[in-house]
């Protein structure tokens, strides 16, 4: 195992990329520019979300307008529309309850099953060690998701002696070559996503229950350029902690 910078996400052959994150809109917010770039380079992207974001209410989507089940259904549609813009191949939901994710053995088994089912070359999740975010405290689901995904990768996903019942179900061991942790405070890989930042913003506007005024969202996202940018030549980056197994 090595823990060194990846070669900027450029591979010689098409890769199967599996994204496992907790909520709808997480793929776009955390790494939408990178995913869009990979999709346009010919890689196959599958998105698996652990919840449907059924507690993702804000001022415009209050519980008196929608029930959690109704919001869940709406967010399914929003995520599929956003993923289509990004260029993802497919989207799946485990539909666990938003806000209550715990990286226990039950969830680890479920995530191990997902990894063995989709057999990715590249696995994308979020950094479980990131307690703080630009907006304040990082959501506990983000940390729980990252923790359970990493725990599923090693030692369970590639070993037949962990969760042997999955072998009976037909899910043979599989080990990804690279794990990309987004939303990290300890990056070792920085992706220049200037070319796909507009795609990322377009995808985010499909999350209507979450973003409020789409024009304000786009305006805010355009301020997230690098410090060496200029008005004439803005530049955007997404950062990851990458672990490689090869």
At 156-210, the pLDDT tens digits run: 999 999 999 999 999 999 999 999 999 999 999 999 999 999 999 999 999 999 9
> Binning pLDDT at 50, 70 and 90, where does residue 98 land?
very high
The β-bridge relationship of strands 178-182 and 237-244 is: antiparallel
Look-up: residue for tokens 């900027």?
Answer: 8
Describe the chain by its helix, strand, coil percentages, rounded to 5: 40, 20, 40
> Rounded to an integer, what is the distance from CA 210 to the centroid of its chain?
16
Q: Across the chain, what does the average pLDDT equal?
A: 94
Look-up: residue for tokens 């080990």?
Answer: 175
20: enclosing H helix or E strand = strand 16-21
How many angstroms separate the CA atoms of 148 and 96, rounded?
14
Question: Residue 127: its pLDDT value, please?
Answer: 97
**Domains of the chain by residue range:** 18-225+234-244
Question: Residue 40: its pLDDT value, please?
Answer: 97
How many angstroms separate the CA atoms of 61 and 72, rounded?
12
Question: Residue 7: its pLDDT value, please?
Answer: 56
Nearest to 199 by CA among 236, 227, 228, 229: 236
> In DSSP terms, which residues pair with 165 in a beta bridge?
none
How many angstroms separate the CA atoms of 72 and 169, rounded?
29
Question: Residue 212: its pLDDT value, please?
Answer: 82
Q: Which of 3-7, 127-131, 149-153 has the lowest mean pLDDT?
A: 3-7
Could you tell me the pTM of the whole model?
0.94
- 207-222 pLDDT tens trace: 999 988 889 999 999 9
209: enclosing H helix or E strand = helix 208-211
| Res 6 pLDDT > 90 | no
Question: Residue 237: its pLDDT value, please?
Answer: 97
What CATH number belongs to 18-225+234-244?
3.40.50.10320
- 47-83 pLDDT tens trace: 999 999 999 988 777 788 889 999 999 999 999 999 9
How many angstroms separate the CA atoms of 89 and 91, rounded?
7
Question: Residue 8: its pLDDT value, please?
Answer: 66
Contacts with 1 (C-beta within 8 Å, 6 or more apart), sequence order: 243, 244, 245
Question: Residue 133: its pLDDT value, please?
Answer: 73
Going across the sheet that includes 90-96, the strands are 90-96, 44-51, 16-21, 122-126, 178-182, 237-244, 189-192
Question: Residue 5: its pLDDT value, please?
Answer: 46
Nearest to 134 by CA among 8, 29, 240, 5: 29
Question: Residue 58: its pLDDT value, please?
Answer: 81
> Rounded to an integer, what is the distance from CA 50 to the centroid of its chain?
10
Query: Do the beta carbons of residue 146 and residue 123 sit within 8 Å?
Result: no
Question: Residue 65: its pLDDT value, please?
Answer: 84
């Amino acid at each position: 195992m090595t823990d060194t910078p990846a070669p900027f996400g450029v591979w010689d052959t098409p890769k199967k990329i599996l994204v496992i994150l907790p909520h709808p809109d997480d793929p776009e917010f955390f790494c939408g520019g990178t995913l869009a770039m990979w999709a346009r380079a010919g890689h196959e992207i599958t998105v698996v979300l652990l919840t449907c974001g059924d507690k993702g209410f804000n001022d415009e989507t209050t519980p008196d307008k929608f029930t959690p089940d109704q919001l869940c259904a709406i967010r399914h549609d929003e995520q599929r529309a956003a993923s289509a813009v990004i260029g993802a191949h497919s989207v799946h939901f485990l539909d666990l309850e938003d806000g209550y994710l715990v990286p226990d053995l039950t969830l680890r088994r479920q995530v191990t099953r997902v990894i063995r089912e989709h057999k990715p070359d590249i696995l994308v999740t979020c950094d479980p060690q990131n307690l703080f975010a630009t907006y304040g405290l990082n959501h506990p689901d983000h940390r729980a998701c990252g923790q359970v995904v990493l725990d599923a990768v090693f030692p369970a996903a590639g070993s037949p002696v962990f969760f042997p019942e999955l072998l009976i179900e037909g899910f043979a061991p599989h080990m990804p070559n690279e794990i990309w942790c987004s939303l990290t405070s300890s990056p070792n890989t920085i992706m220049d996503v200037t070319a796909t930042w507009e795609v990322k913003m377009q995808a985010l506007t499909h999350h209507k229950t979450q973003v409020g005024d789409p024009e304000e969202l786009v305006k805010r996202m355009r301020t997230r350029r690098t410090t060496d940018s200029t008005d004439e030549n803005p530049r955007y980056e997404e950062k990851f902690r990458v672990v490689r197994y090869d």
